[in-house]
Amino acid sequence: MLKACMLEEQDRVRYLKKSSIRRKLIWIIVITSGGALLLATTALAIYELGVFRSDIAEDLASAGDMLARSAQVALELNDPRAARQILNMVSSDKRISKASIYRADGSLLASFERNPHGSNEPAGSLRVISSLLGNALIKRIPVTARGKTIGEIYLEGDLTNLLIRIRSYLVIIGGVALISHLLVILASSRLQRVISEPIIKLANVASEVTNRKDYSLRASRMTDDEIGDLVLAFNQMLAEIQSRDEALRESEERYRTLVEHQQEGLGVVDLSECFVFANPAAHEIFGVPQGELVGKCLSEFLDENGFELVKAQTRLRSTVKRTTYDLEITRPDGERRVILITASPRFDKEGNFTGTFGVFRDITVWKHAEERLKRSLEEKEVLLREIHHRVKNNLQIISSLLYLQSRSIADGKAVEIFKESQNRIRSMALIHETLYRSDDLAHIDLSEYIHNLIKFLITSYNVSSGGITFKVDIADVSLSMDTAVPCGLIINELVSNSLKHAFNTGKGRLWVKLHRVDDNQFEIVVKDDGIGLPSELDIDTSPTLGLRLVKTLVKQIDGRLEATSCCGTEFRILFSDKAARRWVPCKL
Ligand SMILES: Nc1ncnc2c1ncn2[C@@H]1O[C@H](COP(=O)(O)OP(=O)(O)O)[C@@H](O)[C@H]1O
Ligand SMILES: [Mg+2]
């Protein structure tokens, strides 16, 4: 039962929720005004009943008193006729429907009844009214004589008047209720417009804004009340959304223009490497008509290896921020293009990897140019190697010519001079030979070169295997040719001097060392434990070619020369390798 009531209540609430504001307002006005009217008429009816009750009570009391006085004699004489005549006195009173005179023992002496054939019991609505009136309808008055009760007067009020009155009340109330409800409905349907119309118009504007996405629409303010304030706030909100929408549209337009006019291809691929976005340049690069790249997958443009490369890069990208790599694609028309891809990962709000944003650049032309350059570089390297080879050969020829020339000279000193010149040429030829064999044509591996130079000098000066011990310690250093040639000549001069002048006995030790002092500073040390430099020799002023050549070459490589002569001779040259330095033939 309770559940059914609750369900009914819920249905009513649901119906009210679904109803329009207009209907709700009419309902509220009708219910409240109807309720007020009902209350007013009920109060009026209760008041009328009260008045009627007291009137009846008063009438019955005065009629009863009068009858009691008149009936005294009839009771004492026990005369029913006289009693009936007394009762006839009240028969004209329409408000009394029944009057009786009882003896003291309760037996009826005489009785009068206005409607003897009808039922004495009130029927239907009269019963309700009679119950409301209670004992006001019946009056019992004792008849006394000489202080003794000799009988009783019984009176009953007539309800017919009340019934007529109440009936006319009901008709009037019903009529008034009907007319007033009609008037209320009429008035409320007009008055409610003042409240509902601005709300309905506001709701219409709101739904139009939602449907058309047109934020320039405005609701008109019809009232100055809270609804008017609501309309004002709604319009302000629309104005704000409109300005934000325009700013957003402008920014979107700017980015769209930027993306569409970008020369680089821009695209977004999902986890399956299929395009979900591509700008016009990307369509051109992939050789696909505009608007047809979205939905196509990278696998359609790649061979198996290419697609494997893409997948490997994608795997890498889920952990690394950005990757750049070349990819060879085959366009739908069969043309092969090389593209440079700079790919950045895309993540959703939860941080899950969702795909790749890629910038594509067609580098086919560059690739071809690079290949041409590579080929040309290779050709030039071959050429340079050839040149080094030829220079070496030419220098060897000059050296051989000097040797042949020296054979016809009888003067030992002159022969010596020829031999030294020959060695200088050979030390330079060795540089070209080293370069010719080396992979790097711009730098000389000093270790290899100096070892070869010393081997050559040993042969040239016929150093016996048991006589002079060489200790060669050359760091793993590569120098530019501009530094390596002077270094080679310096070592040639100093080692030649040691071999020529230091060892009178033909025995001794000779150290040749090259080591790195710091990043770009090197030191050459040539030392022997021979007789030492002559005491009268001043290196700075010595006119002899060998030492002058050494000093000039040291100057040329911006180096510093130190010579000490104590238990042998030691030369130290500190220098740096300057790439920009150009080697020029010495001016002595
Ligand atoms: N390591 C050395 N030990 C002894 N004397 C040397 C040494 N190096 C040079 N000298 C001396 O210095 C002189 C000058 O050398 P240099 O200018 O090379 O001329 P040259 O070798 O033609 O004599 C040499 O004649 C020699 O007396
Ligand atoms: Mg010398």
pLDDT at 588: 52
Residue 248, CA distances (Å) to 240, 241, 259, 360 in order? 12, 10, 16, 27
Residue 549 CA: nearest ligand 1 atom is 17
Return d(Cα 308, Cα 314) in angstroms, integer. Answer: 10
Cα–Cα nearest to 161, from 298, 235, 51: 51
CB atoms within 10 A of CB 204: 12
Q: Which tokens is 347 given?
A: 């993540």
Cα 527 to ligand 1 centroid, rounded to whole Å: 13
Residue 551, CA distances (Å) to 428, 512, 559 in order? 18, 18, 9
pLDDT at 336: 94
Return d(Cα 540, Cα 588) in angstroms, integer. Answer: 13
Mutate to test the pocket of ligand 1, among 495, 497, 545 (most ligand atoms within 8 A of CB): 497
Residue 493 CA: nearest ligand 1 atom is 18
Return d(Cα 81, Cα 71) in angstroms, integer. Answer: 11
On whether the CB atoms of residues 297 and 322 are closer than 8 A, the answer is no
For the four alpha carbons of 522, 524, 525 and 531, in that order, the dihedral sign comes to negative
pLDDT at 121: 53
Cα–Cα nearest to 121, from 143, 137, 105: 137
CB atoms within 10 A of CB 200: 14
On whether the CB atoms of residues 474 and 512 are closer than 8 A, the answer is yes
Cα–Cα nearest to 420, from 399, 391, 451: 399
On whether the CB atoms of residues 307 and 263 are closer than 8 A, the answer is no
**What is the pairing mode between strands 569-576 and 323-330?**
unpaired
Cα 501 to ligand 2 centroid, rounded to whole Å: 8
Residue 548 CA: nearest ligand 1 atom is 17
- For the Cβ of 495 lying below 6 angstroms from any atom of ligand 1, the answer is no
- For the Cβ of 177 lying below 6 angstroms from any atom of ligand 1, the answer is no
Same fold, 20-180 and 262-362: yes
pLDDT at 583: 47
Return d(Cα 549, Cα 542) in angstroms, integer. Answer: 11
Mutate to test the pocket of ligand 1, among 492, 501, 512 (most ligand atoms within 8 A of CB): 501
Cα–Cα nearest to 514, from 585, 429, 451, 423: 451
- 177-180 CB contacts, 8 Å cutoff, 24+ apart: 177/34, 177/37, 177/38, 177/41, 180/33, 180/37
**Residue nearest to ligand 1 atom 16, measured at CA:** 546
Cα 483 to ligand 1 centroid, rounded to whole Å: 24
- For the Cβ of 158 lying below 6 angstroms from any atom of ligand 1, the answer is no
Cα 400 to ligand 2 centroid, rounded to whole Å: 20
The amino acid at 454: I
Q: Residue 252 class from Cβ within 10 Å (0-12 exposed, 13-18 middle, 19+ buried)?
A: exposed
Closest ligand, as measured to the CA of 424: 2
At 155 the three-state DSSP class reads strand
**Residue nearest to ligand 1 atom 1, measured at CA:** 498
On whether the CB atoms of residues 290 and 332 are closer than 8 A, the answer is no
On whether the CB atoms of residues 265 and 285 are closer than 8 A, the answer is yes
For the four alpha carbons of 375, 381, 384 and 389, in that order, the dihedral sign comes to negative
At 167 the three-state DSSP class reads helix
Return d(Cα 495, Cα 569) in angstroms, integer. Answer: 11
- For the Cβ of 496 lying below 6 angstroms from any atom of ligand 1, the answer is no
Give me the architecture of the 262-362 domain, per CATH. Answer: 2-Layer Sandwich (3.30)
On whether the CB atoms of residues 563 and 571 are closer than 8 A, the answer is yes
Mutate to test the pocket of ligand 1, among 417, 496, 544, 550 (most ligand atoms within 8 A of CB): 544
Q: Report the top-level CATH class of 20-180.
A: alpha beta
Closest ligand, as measured to the CA of 492: 2
Q: pTM for the whole thing?
A: 0.51
- Name the strands in the sheet holding 96-103, side by side, starting at the edge strand that comes first in the sequence: 108-113, 96-103, 148-157, 138-145
Cα 481 to ligand 2 centroid, rounded to whole Å: 23
On whether the CB atoms of residues 103 and 30 are closer than 8 A, the answer is no
Cα 436 to ligand 2 centroid, rounded to whole Å: 28
**Residue nearest to ligand 1 atom 20, measured at CA:** 546
For the four alpha carbons of 392, 393, 398 and 399, in that order, the dihedral sign comes to positive
CB atoms within 10 A of CB 502: 20
Cα 98 to ligand 2 centroid, rounded to whole Å: 176
**Residue nearest to ligand 1 atom 5, measured at CA:** 533
- For the Cβ of 533 lying below 6 angstroms from any atom of ligand 1, the answer is yes
pLDDT at 470: 92
- For the Cβ of 531 lying below 6 angstroms from any atom of ligand 1, the answer is yes
Residue 3, CA distances (Å) to 7, 16, 476 in order? 6, 20, 100
pLDDT at 498: 95
pLDDT at 570: 96
**Residue nearest to ligand 1 atom 22, measured at CA:** 546
Cα 435 to ligand 2 centroid, rounded to whole Å: 26
Closest ligand, as measured to the CA of 534: 1
Closest ligand, as measured to the CA of 499: 1
- For the Cβ of 497 lying below 6 angstroms from any atom of ligand 1, the answer is yes
Cα 405 to ligand 1 centroid, rounded to whole Å: 25
On whether the CB atoms of residues 129 and 163 are closer than 8 A, the answer is yes
Q: Which tokens is 7 given?
A: 């369900």
Return d(Cα 26, Cα 571) in angstroms, integer. Answer: 120
Domain 445-588: CATH superfamily, name plus number: Histidine kinase-like ATPase, C-terminal domain (3.30.565.10)
Spell out the domain ranges in the chain.
Answer: 20-180, 262-362, 363-441, 445-588
Rg (alpha carbons) of the chain, rounded to whole number: 67
At 572 the three-state DSSP class reads strand
pLDDT at 586: 46
- For the Cβ of 569 lying below 6 angstroms from any atom of ligand 1, the answer is yes
Cα 498 to ligand 2 centroid, rounded to whole Å: 8
Cα 568 to ligand 2 centroid, rounded to whole Å: 16
- 237-241 CB contacts, 8 Å cutoff, 24+ apart: 238/209, 241/215
- For the Cβ of 568 lying below 6 angstroms from any atom of ligand 1, the answer is no
pLDDT in tens, the chain (588 residues): 566 656 677 776 677 677 777 777 777 777 887 788 788 878 887 787 788 778 878 888 888 888 888 888 888 888 899 888 888 888 888 778 888 999 989 898 898 887 766 545 555 655 666 666 665 678 888 988 888 889 999 988 877 777 777 778 778 878 887 888 788 778 777 777 777 788 888 888 899 999 988 888 898 888 888 888 888 999 999 999 999 999 999 999 999 999 889 899 999 999 999 999 999 999 999 999 999 999 999 999 999 999 999 888 888 877 767 889 999 999 999 999 999 999 999 888 998 888 899 999 999 999 999 999 999 999 998 998 999 999 999 999 999 999 999 999 999 899 999 999 999 999 999 989 988 888 888 788 889 999 999 999 999 888 877 789 999 999 998 888 889 989 999 999 999 999 999 998 888 999 999 999 988 899 999 999 999 999 999 998 999 999 999 999 999 999 999 999 988 999 999 999 875 444 455 455
The residue to which tokens 């009020």 are assigned:
157
Closest ligand, as measured to the CA of 541: 1
CB atoms within 10 A of CB 8: 10
**Residue nearest to ligand 1 atom 11, measured at CA:** 533
**Residue nearest to ligand 1 atom 3, measured at CA:** 502
- For the Cβ of 544 lying below 6 angstroms from any atom of ligand 1, the answer is yes
Q: Please report, to the nearest 10 degrees, the dihedral formed by the alpha carbons of residues 52, 57, 58, 59 taken in order.
A: 90
